[in-house]
Amino acid sequence: MFKNISRINRNAAKAASNRSSVIRRTAIRSYSSSGEQSSSGGSGSGAAIFAGGALLTGIGLYYFNNVNHNYEGTRNQALAKVEEKLPVESGSRDYQKVYNAIVDILETEDYDDGTFAPVLLRLAWHASGTFSKYDKANPGGSNKATMRFKAEAEDGANAGLEVGRDLLNNKVKPQFPWISYGDLWTLAGVAALQEMGGPKTAWRPGRIDGTDEREAITERLPDGAKDEGHIKNIFERLGFDDEEAVCLIGAHAVGRTHKDRSGFEGPWTFSPVTFSNQFYRLLLDSDWQVKKWDGPKQYEDQETKSLMMLPTDYALRTSEKYRPIVEKYAADEDKFFSDFARAFAKLIELGVPLKQLEHSPPVFFKTSDEIEAEKESK
């Protein structure tokens, strides 16, 4: 049974009080047989993030089975090579306009839960999460946008991300041909995060687009079917400590999984297009059981059977090392937001040489709500 479910409702409403208008306009949709409807100002069920092929999203952040699937996509359109070169000085580029163009295409009635935001957050996470501090020759990360290449695009962990890539490559890149794919994908992750009500997050331009398909990286992203040791190994390789690891996994607050992509099915939370600390609260306050079905092992909440947790998620609850961090973020959303902003900014710069970033100070983007408020005040 859910414990303190009324508290979850109240906190969800509070967390959503300042959510961006793009998400607030998204219609509430039914994605489960029953359960708590978030009072988050109109945000409904979420698009996929890290595990499942739609998102956060989620920045997801992000754990996937490398399974066979027949998902129809247009990923081959995103595999063309581009000339490798350093971007010009950012002073001649208006990245806020790029942000605004991304916001303009987030809302849709034809994809998942009414928004592409979660899948864009997940795209940024996966484009960056291939980094390895141990591989000096090919460290991975967001620098060369190697998910444009066939091997990485078709890695099972990236199933469904052609949705996000094609959206940005076809709708936004033509408007701003000067922006690199790595910069575009990571900027879109920041836009998705902020427009779902998440924290203001620093972003810097400077990524280049590689030309060597041999630099594509596979089998480095997290696997949701694994255990606590897998979490430690993945995030240690990325250069994150235990607190940062648990914090980044908290992006499972948004998005959902898809059986035809990761093999898993369902959303993690009742308001999966609103970024909040609800993932942690549900993980602790709900009673979970192994789902009886024909898919890979996952957990479902006993009360509604509409939510899911991956084995790696559930490991956070049972771990003596990770559980205290989960409890901290469940109790303090402001702390979670502050830590997530720092960890995500660090994530999306992994693998990018400092010399490519140091020419530009961090950019903090205005949200669509802030821009609208400025217009109304004039």
Question: pLDDT band at 35, cuts 50/70/90?
Answer: very low
| Secondary structure string (H, E, C) spanning 147-211 | HHCHHHHCCHHHCCCHHHHHHHHHHCHHHCCCCCHHHHHHHHHHHHHHHCCCCCCCECCCCCCCC
Whose tokens are 């606590």? That residue is 228
pLDDT at 103: 98
If one counts the domains in the chain, the total is 1
pLDDT at 298: 97
**Type of residue numbered 306:** S
- When the pLDDT of each residue in the chain is averaged and rounded to a whole number, the result is 82
User: Could you report the per-residue pLDDT of 170-185, keeping only the tens digit for each?
Assistant: 999 999 999 999 999 9
CATH of the domain at 300: 1.10.520.10
Residue 178, Cβ neighbours under 10 Å: how many?
Answer: 11
pLDDT at 260: 82
Question: pLDDT band at 15, cuts 50/70/90?
Answer: very low
Instruction: Return the higher-pLDDT residue of 57 and 156.
Output: 156
Instruction: Give the percent of the chain with pLDDT over 70.
Output: 76
Give rounded-to-5 percent helix, strand, coil for the chain. Answer: 45, 5, 55
For the chain, report the end-to-end CA distance as a whole number of angstroms.
Answer: 50
Instruction: Give the percent of the chain with pLDDT over 90.
Output: 70
pLDDT at 105: 96
pLDDT at 369: 97
Pairing verdict, β 299-301 and 266-267: unpaired
Catalytic pick among 125, 185, 203, 268: 268
Token pair listed for 78: 């995103």
Token pair listed for 323: 């559980």
pLDDT at 325: 99
User: What residues have CB less than 8 Å from 262, skipping those under 6 apart?
Assistant: 51, 52, 53, 64, 65, 67, 156, 157, 159, 160, 224
Catalytic pick among 126, 185, 252, 288: 126
Domain that holds residue 26: 5-377
User: Could you report the per-residue pLDDT of 327-360, keeping only the tens digit for each?
Assistant: 999 999 999 999 999 999 999 999 999 999 988 8
Find the helix or strand (DSSP H, E) in which 267 lies. Answer: strand 266-267
Residues 314 and 232 sit within 8 Å (Cβ to Cβ) = no
User: What residues have CB less than 8 Å from 260, skipping those under 6 apart?
Assistant: 53, 69, 70, 71
- Catalytic: 288? no
User: Could you report the per-residue pLDDT of 202-220, keeping only the tens digit for each?
Assistant: 999 999 999 999 999 999 9
Residues 245 and 231 sit within 8 Å (Cβ to Cβ) = yes
Buried residues in 198-237 as b, exposed as e (16+ CB within 10 A): bbebbbbbbbbbbeeeebbbbebbbbbbbebebbbebbeb
Residues 124 and 59 sit within 8 Å (Cβ to Cβ) = yes
pLDDT at 88: 41
- Catalytic: 268? yes
pLDDT at 30: 31
> Does residue 110 have a pLDDT over 90?
no
Report the range of poorest mean pLDDT among 104-113, 174-183, 369-378.
104-113
pLDDT at 92: 63
- DSSP per residue, 273-328: TS-SSHHHHHHHHS-EEE--SSSS--EEETTTS--EE-HHHHHHHH-TTTHHHHHH
Whose tokens are 């024909």? That residue is 294
User: Could you report the per-residue pLDDT of 218-251, keeping only the tens digit for each?
Assistant: 999 999 999 999 999 999 999 999 999 999 999 9
Pairing verdict, β 256-257 and 266-267: antiparallel
What's the CA angle centered on 110, arms 54 and 104, to 5 degrees? Answer: 80
